[in-house]
Amino acid sequence: MKRARYLVAIAVLICALSSLHRPARAMVTCESLTSLSLSDATITLAKSIPAGTFTAPNGQVFTGMPAFCEVQGVAKPTSVSAINFEVWMPISGWNGKFEGVGNGGLAGTIVYSSMAPPLQRGFATAGTDTGHSPAEPQLWLQNRDLIIDYSYRGLHEMTTNAKAVIAAFYQQSPAVSLYSGCSTGGKEGLYEAQLYPEDYDGIVAGDPANFWTHVMFAEVWVGQATDEPATTLSDATLQTLHNAVLKACDGLDGVIDGLITDPRQCHFDPRVLQCRGTNASNCLTAAQIGAIDKIYQGPVNPQTHQSIFPGYSLSSEVGWGSAFGTPLINRTTSSGVSSYDFFRFAVFDDPNWDFRTLNFNGDVRLVDDEFASIMNATSPDLQQFKKLGHKLIQYHGFSDPLAPTLNSLNYYESVVADQAHRPHTGDPLKNTQDFYRLFLAPGMYHCGSGPGPNVFNGVNNQGGPEDPEHDVVSALDRWVENGVAPDQIIATHYTNGVADNTRPMCPFPKFARYKGHGPTNAASSYFCAYESGGYP
């Protein structure tokens, strides 16, 4: 009898302990969330969505969706704010975690395509439009409060309100909160770590446009360099240039594979392609070479000759053209992706502003004085984020033709330098890598694509999206929960849906090195090691 009671007691204890690790079931109905009281925010819709195919509010269709609770809301932290956000929560099978997602460009839309994958993996997820509509003209850029909403407040408002909605629905707060974003979303992630370090336990910041005001000058610089017929760079010309760069530097990493592991080690002069006599299809004119020099150099102050922003890396050349989709070169009526609207509305209040009139001396001072404090996520002080035990993974394509890769390197090294002045002992690089790691992807363009292995975030990963060896969010999740820092993340390249190259991305300042044997297109043939010089 005593034995029976003992076994029952043990069974009850086991059940009690296991329930501690099991997400609670929803204690309220989805539809009842419309009455949820939030600070400076209102729930406008709460609707149960059945499993299967779902059509998002913007018309995008997603298949294989679990049953979930769709919540829409609007936050109004200022009198002019209207920050729309959306929260999706699995009806069953919630993993107890939350993943916020970021934006791109000038935002203005909720990125549903970034919300669907985490929902399918069991996360509650949320996105925001950051408080404005993408409809032209971009008049919101004339209002400082709306610019702040776009830069950082909108994402923070989404995060705090999403957590409140999740806690109300499940009757418990998320055990882990992660964030993932690229480009503008990468900047938003760095802003979160700098301004709101308590928001997320882990952050993935990809190809961040965090030095925003100077990214804008870089876009115009490239546009001005190629705005005349004589300086136009066709796709064929860019391919010729790229081929010459590879011929000069492809073998520096010990492998001839069409990729340059670290373009900083490449020393290439485009004048080797200058035409002699009659122009030919496989040579460049002096005017074209002058434009290329400017693109590699990046914007420079004409009086002080100081760099304003890094130029584009050697190996990014093909991405300057139509391969990227929205090239910054060969512009005739506007500049760049976001710079044209930024300068004509936010800076000069002139819808007819001519990008050719921008100067890189006084205008830089003007813009930085007005906007740097509210648009640039460049503070190296991540000390509070670190003290909380939170983790940051940053990645960047080394052939990025939009947000130059060297900007990420500069920011990372500024954090290492900041750690060197903190009152603790030990190596500042190690102290940084204890909470913040930067991964570079050779041959990858902006946030993906390109000739190099570039898939490491989502359903197409080798091993699937829940494999921390191949997926950056899963690697972050494991680091946050188990303390296992990623020593490499394996990226995959696909051609027509077939995986044909894998390569480890290594935490900077390490790079992938070929072992000297094995297939050169297989990650197993590489190891991560420091380059000579600079770091140990």
Give the residue numbers annotated as catalytic, written as ranges. 183, 400, 446
> Tokens in use for 364?
């830089």
What's the one-letter identity of residue 58? N
Can you tell me the distance from the alpha carbon of 299 to that of 310, in angstroms, rounded to the nearest whole number?
7
Burial of 93 (0-12, 13-18, 19+ CB in 10 A): exposed
C-alpha span between 201 and 477 (Å, rounded): 9
Q: DSSP states of 254-267 as a string?
A: S--SS--S-GGG--
For the chain, the farthest-separated pair of C-alpha atoms sits apart, in whole angstroms, at 104
C-alpha–C-alpha distance, residues 127 and 116, integer Å: 11
Pairing of strands 97-101, 176-182: parallel
SS3 of residue 42 by DSSP:
strand
Reduced to 3 states (helix: H, G, I; strand: E, B; else coil), residue 308 is coil
Q: What is the DSSP letter of 149?
A: I
DSSP-assigned beta bridge partners for residue 61: 55
- 25 CB contacts (<8 Å, ≥6 apart)? 92, 170
Return the closest-CA partner of residue 346 out of 489, 531, 216, 256: 216
Contact 528, 511 (CB under 8 A): yes
**Given phi > 0 = left and psi -120 to 50 = alpha, else beta, which region is 249?**
alpha
Q: What is the residue type of 29?
A: T
DSSP character for 307? B
Q: Look at strands 436-441 and 489-495 and give their pairing.
A: unpaired
For residue 81, give the DSSP letter: -
Q: What is the CA radius of gyration of the chain?
A: 25
The answer to whether the bond into 509 is cis (omega within 30° of 0) is yes
The Cα–Cα gap between 507 and 360 comes to 34
Query: Helices 362-375 and 212-225, interaxial angle, to 10°?
Result: 140
> Residue 435 CA to chain centroid, in angstroms?
18
